Structure 1
Amino acid sequence: MDIHNKAILALSAKNYRLAGLFLEEARLKNPHDPKSWYLSGVLFHRIGNLLQAQEFLVKAVSIFPEFSEAYNSLGCVYKDLGEFKNSEKAFSNAIGASGGSAELYANRSDLFRQMEAFERAIRDCNLAIKMNRKLPVAYGNLAAIQIDLGEWLQAEQSLRTAIKLDSKNASFYINLSKTMIALQRPDEALEVAQDALRLEPTSSHSINALANCYLYKSEFYQAELLYRQALELEPRNIDVLNNLGTALAQQNNFSEAYNNYTTALNLDTNRADILTNLGSIEHASGNFSDAKRCFQRALKLAPDYADAKWNLGITLLLNGDFTDGFACYEARLDLPEFSQRPSKTATWTGQSINGKVIRVESEQGYGDTIQFVRFLPELKKLGAKPNLIIEKPLEKLFQRIKDVHQIDVNDKNGTQADYRVSLMSLPHLLGVTIDKIPNVVPYLYQVGGDKPKVRASTYLKVGIVWSGNLRHRHGWAQNRSISFDDLEVLFSIQGVSWCSLQFETPESSLSNKMRELGIQDMSNVISNFSDTAEIMSDLDLVITIDTAVAHLAGALGMPVWVMLSFVPDWRWLLEREDSPWYPSMLLFRQKKRGVWDDVVEAVSMALSQKIILGN
C-alpha cells in the first residue's frame, strides 16, 4: 500500500496524528506531488487549521492547475474563512476542470446559502440532486437553505431524505432537531437531538442541539448544564456562549448572562442576534439607554432583523415614546411565533376604509385583546365595518361590545372582508400617542347569566390573583408572579373577605392553606372571562399581578390594584402610580428586582387605609 493510501485510511479512521505523519513523509519524499499537498490540506481542514489547509491546497493547485478535487476543498476552506469571493472562484475552477459533479454543486450551494444568494443555492442543490439522487449532502444543504428561509416543513422532508441516505451524519439530526423546535414539536426535537448525541457524544454541536430542546421546553437549568458541557469541549463556540446566556437570563442570572453575551460578542462583533440578547438584559436590568444602543447597533448590522426592531419598540414604548415605539413594534409580525396565517385579503396599512369590511385579528394573549379592543370604535369612526376575530374564552364577554359589525371565534380566514389587520397594530395605524389613548371605561360589560356566588359579607370584598402565564415571550415572565406565601401579610388584614380569581384549580396543599386563611376559591366556577367578570361585579376591589385579570378589571371600570415587577411590561410605563389605559387602576411597583416585600407592604397599607376610611 502506498503512503497516500495509508494516509487516506488514517483520515477515515480519524487518526489525524498518524495521517499527518504519513503526509509529512510524502511531502518530503516528493515535494512536487500535488496529491500530498491536497491530502494535507484536507487533513488540516478537518482539524480546524484553516490557514494551514489553505496554504497546502494553494500549493496543490499551483503544481497541478487542473486539480478539481483540490479546488473543491480550497473552495470549502475559503468558505469557512468567510472569503466568499475566493471560495466562489475556487469552486468555479473545480467545475471548469472537471465539468462539474454532484458533490461540487452541493458544496457550492452551501457557499451561496451563506452569501444569502438563495436562488443560486437552490439551483445548485437541485443540480446536485439531479446528477445524484442518492447524495445525502445535497438534501442536507437544501434543508439548510429551507431553514434559513423559514420553510420548516420542506426542511423536515429534505432532512428525513438525507437521514435515510446517511443515518450516521450527526449534522442532519442536529438540523432536524432545530426544525422540530421551529414546528413546535419539542418531544420529537429531543429524540432527534439524542440521536445526534449518540452518533457524536463528544460533539459540542450535538450537545448544544440537545440543550436547545430543554431551553425550548423551559427546563432552563438542564439546558444550562448541557451548554456548560459543550463549552468545556469548545470554549470559543459563539452559538453556545449565546445560548448559555439565554438559559441564564431565563433563570434571572443576569450578570452571568451578560458576561456570556459579551464574551460571544468579543469573538464576533457582527452578531445582531447576540447584540439583541445583550440589549434584552440591559432592558430587564433597567438600563434603557444601553438597551436602546444595543438594539440600534444590531439593526445597523441587520436592518431587517425583526427581533432587534421589536425589542427596540418595547424599550421605546416602556419609556413613553409611542410614535416610534409602535412603529418598531410592528416587527413582531415578522417573528416566527407571531406569523399571521396566509390570506388573500389585503392588509390594511392606513388607506381609506370608509364603507369597507375590515377583519381585525386578535393576537398574543387574552389581556392584549381585552386592552386593544378599545380601538374598534376608532375604526367605526373611519366608516369601517369591523369584524373581530377572537378566541373562545373571550366570546361571551365580548357579546355586548360596541361598534363591532361581527364577531367570529377562531376564524380560519373564512370571514369575507376587504382588509385585514392585527388588533395590536391599530395604535400605530391610528397614530395613537400617550395623551390620545381612548380610555373611557367601561368599554366591556358583564353579560347576564347565573352569577357564581361570592359569599355574602359585610367586609370589603377583594379578588386576588398572584400567578399568571409563565410561558410569556418577553421579560422572563415568572418575574411577574408572586409566591402565595409572600402575600400572607395581606390575608391577615382584618375587615377583608378574600376570593381567589386564579383560573387554575389549586393543588391540595395550597387549597388547604387558602381554606385556613378564609380565601374563597372560585376556580371551580371560572371557565371563561365572562365568568370572571360576573364574579368581579360582586367585588369591591381586585388586587392582581400583571395578567389578563388586570385588563379585564380595568376594561370593566372596576377598582383594580396591579403589583408590578421592577421592569414591567411596556404598557405600564415607568415611575407612575396611575395608568393612561385604565382610569380605575392603581399601580404598585417593585423598587428592587425580584423583591416583592415593598410592594406587598404598600398594598397592605393602602388596603388598611381603605378599610379605615370605609371603602
Structure 2
Amino acid sequence: MGRSDRKQGGKSVAGGSDGVPTLSPAALYEAGLHHLGAGQLLDAQLCCQQALELDPGHADSLYLMGLISLQSRQHDHAVAWLSQAIRQTPKIDYLTSLGFTLKQMGRLDDALAVFDKAIQLKPDDAELWKHLGGVLLALDRGAEALLSYQHALSIDPAHKEAAFQSGLLLHQQQRDAEAVEAFTVCLTQQPNDLTALQMRAKCLRKLNRYPDYLADTERASTLAPADPLACNNVGDALVCLGRHAEALSWFDRALSLQPGMIEVLLNKGFALLQLRRFADAADVYQKILAIDPGNAKAAWQLAHVELQCGDYVSGWARREARWNMPDFSPEYPRFTAPKWLGNEDISGKTILIEEDEGFGDTIQFARYIPQVAARGAKVILVVREALRPLMTGIAGVSQCLAFKPELQRPAFDMHCPVMSLPLAFGTTLETIPPATYLPPPPADRVSAWEQRLGSHQRLRVGLVWSGNPHQGNDRHRSMPLSTLLPLLDLDADFISLQKEPRPADQALLIQQSHIIDVSGDLTDFVETAALISCLDVVISVCTSVAHLAATLGRPTWIMLPYLADWRWLRDRDDSPWYGSARLFHQDASCRYEPVVERVRAELTTAIAGFGPRAA
C-alpha cells in the first residue's frame, strides 16, 4: 500500500505501509520546541532525531539540535548543528544563535563574520546591529562598537540596550553630553533603571551640571535607600553645589550603613575642609590612615591641613605621599637615581631639580635653588618652556632645560622635585627664604613697556581674574571679569595680564575702554615680568601671575576663596612667603563681590596717595 499524507488533529501526518500515522518533520520540530521550552532536553532531542530521520535536511530541526546542544553546554556540537541549518536556509534566527555561540566560545572573529552576514541579509534590524556592537566591544574595538550601537538607535531610537551601551562608550570617550542623551533614552523606557540613572548622574557631574546631578542622585537614593554609595553620591552632589553642611548628613548616613568606607570618609573630610573645620577634617583623614595606612589621597589631604595650620614639620614630609597617587604629575619621570631630600652631602654632586606641579608652584619654590648651589652642588633645572627664560638667570643654575617628553637629561647624581625643596631644607614658618631670587627683567623690555604704557600720570593696576580652568579648584578661585567691573570707574589705568580669557570674558573685555589688553604680547614669563615691573599694583586671583608679581616685590593683592590654598595659611592678610603681598579672603558667603568691594576701598586709598611719576 503506498504512503499518503493527511491531517490529524491539525498536524501533518504521514500514513505508513502498516497504517500507523507518523508525525511530519515540521510537527516533530514543533513538539521538540515545546519540550525544549519545558526544559525536557532529552525529549526535545528525540523529536529532532525522528524529524531528521524523515528529512536529514530539515533546517528547523537542525537549528533546534543546535539550541539543545547549547543548553547542554556542548558548544562545538551547537556550532556544527547551527552551521548545517544555515547551509540549508540562512535564517536570521539561525545566524544569531550561531553568532552568540561563537562569542561564548571566544571565537570572536568568527562571531563577527556571522553577524555581519546576518546584517547583509537584514540591514534594517536594530537587534542585529546591537549584537554586532557586542562582538566588536568584546574585541576591544570600542569606536566601531559605538558606531554599531548608534546605527541600531538610528533604526530604533527607543532601543534600550543599544542606548545603554552607547552611553557607556560615550562616557569612556569623555563625550558626556552625548552619553547623557543615551542614558536618557534608557530612562525614558525604564525610569527606575538604577544603573542607567547612576551612569547619567556620573556624566552630569563631569559636565558640571550640578543641579541635574543632584536630582539624579536623589532619585537613585530613593530607589536604593540602603545603598551607602547612593547616599554618598547625594553628598557629593551637594558638595559640588557648595552645600557642604547638608552634604555631611548624607556622608554620615552612608557611614551608618557601612562604617569605614574610605570613599565616603574622603568626601566627608573634604566637606569639613571646605567649611574650614580643620581639626575635624584632620580627624577624618587620620581615621582613614588608621584603616588604610597606605592611603595616599588621605595623607595628601592631611598634609595640606597641616600646612594650612602652620605645621610645616609634619606637612612637608607627609606631602611626599603624592608620589603614590597614580594620577599625580604623570609627566614627571620616575628616575632610578636617588631622590635628595636634604639628608645627604651634595658637595661636588650634580643634582637635577625638575618642575613637578604648576607654574606658580615653580616660581614660589625656586627660591631654594641658590641654597642648593650654596651646598656645593651643580644644579640642572628642568621647567616648561614658558618658564625657562625666567629661570635661567637664577643664581646657582648651571643649566636650565625646557621640559619635553623626549628630553635627554644630562648625567646627574641625585634629583629633587621643586615641590620637595621645602622638605629638603626643613622649612618652618620662621625659616622661609626671602623672595629675592629672580634676576630683574631685561632693562630694554622694561623700557619698551614704559614707552608703550605712556605717561605715568595715574596709578597703573594689573588685573588677573581667572586661572587655568582645568585646575581642580578653579571654580572656587576664579571669577568672571564682570565681577571686577566695579573697579573700573576709579581714576586709574587698568592693564589686563589675563592670559587666554574665557569666551564670555573676552567678549566683555573687548567692550571695556577702561582696560588696556596687552595679554597677546605676553609671550613668556620674562615679558610678563617686564610689564609687571612698570605697574604700581597687581590685583589677581591665586595664579602664577600673582606669584610672579610678589616675587618681583611689586605690591600684589591676591583675592582668595573662603578656603584658600594651603600656602596662604589661615586667617592672615599677609604672607610669610611674599613681603609685598596682601590677601583678600572671601567670607563664609563664598562670593567674590564683597572681596571686590574691599579691594575697591583699598584701591581708592592708593589712588588718593598716588603722585604722577616721570617716565
**Could you tell me the TM-score, scaled by structure 2's length?**
0.67
Please name the residue that 2:347 is paired with: 354
SS of structure 2 residue aligned to 1:441: coil
Please name the residue that 1:464 is paired with: 463
Please name the residue that 2:414 is paired with: 419
SS of structure 1 residue aligned to 2:263: helix
- Aligned equivalents of 2:463 and 2:224: distance in 1? 49
Compared CA separation, residues 335 and 222, structure 1 to 2 (3 A): farther
Compared CA separation, residues 265 and 509, structure 1 to 2 (3 A): closer
- Aligned equivalents of 2:505 and 2:589: distance in 1? 28
Range that drifts further, 288-297 or 349-358: 349-358
Please name the residue that 2:579 is paired with: 583
Candidates 356, 359, 366, aligned match of 2:359:
366
SS of structure 2 residue aligned to 1:558: coil
Does the 8 Å contact 1:313/1:328 carry over to 2?
yes
Compared CA separation, residues 236 and 387, structure 1 to 2 (3 A): farther
Which amino acid in the other structure matches residue 575 of structure 1? D
Compared CA separation, residues 318 and 505, structure 1 to 2 (3 A): closer
Which amino acid in the other structure matches residue 555 of structure 2? P
Compared CA separation, residues 193 and 454, structure 1 to 2 (3 A): same
Please name the residue that 1:535 is paired with: 531
Deviation at 1:206, TM superposition (A): 4.0
Deviation at 1:591, TM superposition (A): 2.8
Q: Does residue 235 of the first structure (1) align with residue 235 of the second (2)? A: no
Does the 8 Å contact 2:176/2:204 carry over to 1?
no
- Aligned equivalents of 1:208 and 1:581: distance in 2? 45
Does the 8 Å contact 2:171/2:203 carry over to 1?
no
Q: Does residue 485 of the first structure (1) align with residue 482 of the second (2)? A: yes
Compared CA separation, residues 246 and 612, structure 1 to 2 (3 A): same
Does the 8 Å contact 1:197/1:203 carry over to 2?
no
Which amino acid in the other structure matches residue 187 of structure 1? R
Compared CA separation, residues 188 and 564, structure 1 to 2 (3 A): closer
Compared CA separation, residues 245 and 458, structure 1 to 2 (3 A): same
Please name the residue that 2:279 is paired with: 289
Please name the residue that 1:93 is paired with: none
- Aligned equivalents of 1:557 and 1:551: distance in 2? 10
- Aligned equivalents of 1:551 and 1:255: distance in 2? 32
Does the 8 Å contact 1:177/1:193 carry over to 2?
no
Matches within 5 A, 1:242-281: 242-281=232-271
1:119-163, CA deviations, whole angstroms, 9 ceiling, x for partnerless residues? xxxxxxxxxxxx97669xxxxxxxxxxxxxxxxxxxxxx985479
Compared CA separation, residues 379 and 330, structure 1 to 2 (3 A): same
- Aligned equivalents of 2:184 and 2:444: distance in 1? 56
Does the 8 Å contact 2:166/2:182 carry over to 1?
no
Deviation at 1:307, TM superposition (A): 0.9
Does the 8 Å contact 1:400/1:445 carry over to 2?
no
Compared CA separation, residues 352 and 262, structure 1 to 2 (3 A): same
Compared CA separation, residues 244 and 309, structure 1 to 2 (3 A): same
- Aligned equivalents of 1:162 and 1:596: distance in 2? 48
Deviation at 1:375, TM superposition (A): 1.4
Which amino acid in the other structure matches residue 409 of structure 1? A
- Aligned equivalents of 1:508 and 1:307: distance in 2? 35
- Aligned equivalents of 1:574 and 1:434: distance in 2? 13
Candidates 333, 338, 354, aligned match of 1:341:
333
- Aligned equivalents of 1:194 and 1:436: distance in 2? 57
- Aligned equivalents of 2:39 and 2:250: distance in 1? 40
- Aligned equivalents of 1:596 and 1:196: distance in 2? 36
- Aligned equivalents of 1:289 and 1:4: distance in 2? 70
- Aligned equivalents of 1:242 and 1:8: distance in 2? 44
Does the 8 Å contact 1:566/1:590 carry over to 2?
yes
SS of structure 2 residue aligned to 1:605: helix
- Aligned equivalents of 1:569 and 1:251: distance in 2? 19
- Aligned equivalents of 1:481 and 1:263: distance in 2? 33
Structure 1 segments unaligned to the other structure (5+ residues): 10-130, 136-157
Compared CA separation, residues 456 and 318, structure 1 to 2 (3 A): same
Compared CA separation, residues 198 and 360, structure 1 to 2 (3 A): farther
Compared CA separation, residues 330 and 508, structure 1 to 2 (3 A): closer
Compared CA separation, residues 221 and 610, structure 1 to 2 (3 A): same
Does the 8 Å contact 2:390/2:438 carry over to 1?
no
Please name the residue that 1:300 is paired with: 290
Compared CA separation, residues 518 and 353, structure 1 to 2 (3 A): same
Please name the residue that 1:439 is paired with: 434
Compared CA separation, residues 430 and 206, structure 1 to 2 (3 A): farther
- Aligned equivalents of 1:287 and 1:585: distance in 2? 26
Q: Does residue 387 of the first structure (1) align with residue 380 of the second (2)? A: yes
Compared CA separation, residues 272 and 521, structure 1 to 2 (3 A): same
Does the 8 Å contact 2:183/2:197 carry over to 1?
no
Give the number of the structure whose alpha-carbon radius of gyration is greater: 2
Please name the residue that 1:49 is paired with: none
1:58-81, CA deviations, whole angstroms, 9 ceiling, x for partnerless residues? xxxxxxxxxxxxxxxxxxxxxxxx
Which amino acid in the other structure matches residue 431 of structure 2? K
Does the 8 Å contact 1:501/1:523 carry over to 2?
yes
Deviation at 1:336, TM superposition (A): 2.5
Candidates 567, 576, 594, aligned match of 2:590:
594
Compared CA separation, residues 488 and 509, structure 1 to 2 (3 A): closer
SS of structure 2 residue aligned to 1:586: strand
Cα RMSD (Å):
4.0
Matches within 5 A, 1:218-233: 218-233=208-223
- Aligned equivalents of 1:553 and 1:366: distance in 2? 13
Compared CA separation, residues 447 and 304, structure 1 to 2 (3 A): farther
Compared CA separation, residues 398 and 163, structure 1 to 2 (3 A): closer
- Aligned equivalents of 2:483 and 2:175: distance in 1? 35
- Aligned equivalents of 1:449 and 1:187: distance in 2? 48
Q: Does residue 500 of the first structure (1) align with residue 496 of the second (2)? A: yes
**Could you tell me the TM-score, scaled by structure 1's length?**
0.67
Aligned pairs, how many? 469
Q: Does residue 565 of the first structure (1) align with residue 561 of the second (2)? A: yes
Does the 8 Å contact 2:480/2:505 carry over to 1?
no
- Aligned equivalents of 1:218 and 1:403: distance in 2? 45
Compared CA separation, residues 231 and 385, structure 1 to 2 (3 A): same
Compared CA separation, residues 163 and 420, structure 1 to 2 (3 A): same
1:317-376, CA deviations, whole angstroms, 9 ceiling, x for partnerless residues? 111111111122112222232144343333334433222222222122211111111111
Does the 8 Å contact 2:537/2:556 carry over to 1?
yes
Candidates 416, 425, 428, aligned match of 2:423:
428
Deviation at 1:549, TM superposition (A): 1.1
Range that drifts further, 518-527 or 591-600: 591-600
Compared CA separation, residues 375 and 341, structure 1 to 2 (3 A): same
Deviation at 1:562, TM superposition (A): 0.9
- Aligned equivalents of 1:7 and 1:445: distance in 2? 89
SS of structure 2 residue aligned to 1:400: coil
Compared CA separation, residues 449 and 614, structure 1 to 2 (3 A): closer
Q: Does residue 377 of the first structure (1) align with residue 370 of the second (2)? A: yes
- Aligned equivalents of 2:182 and 2:443: distance in 1? 54
Matches within 5 A, 1:311-350: 311-338=301-328, 339=330, 340-349=332-341, 350=343
Which amino acid in the other structure matches residue 287 of structure 1? R
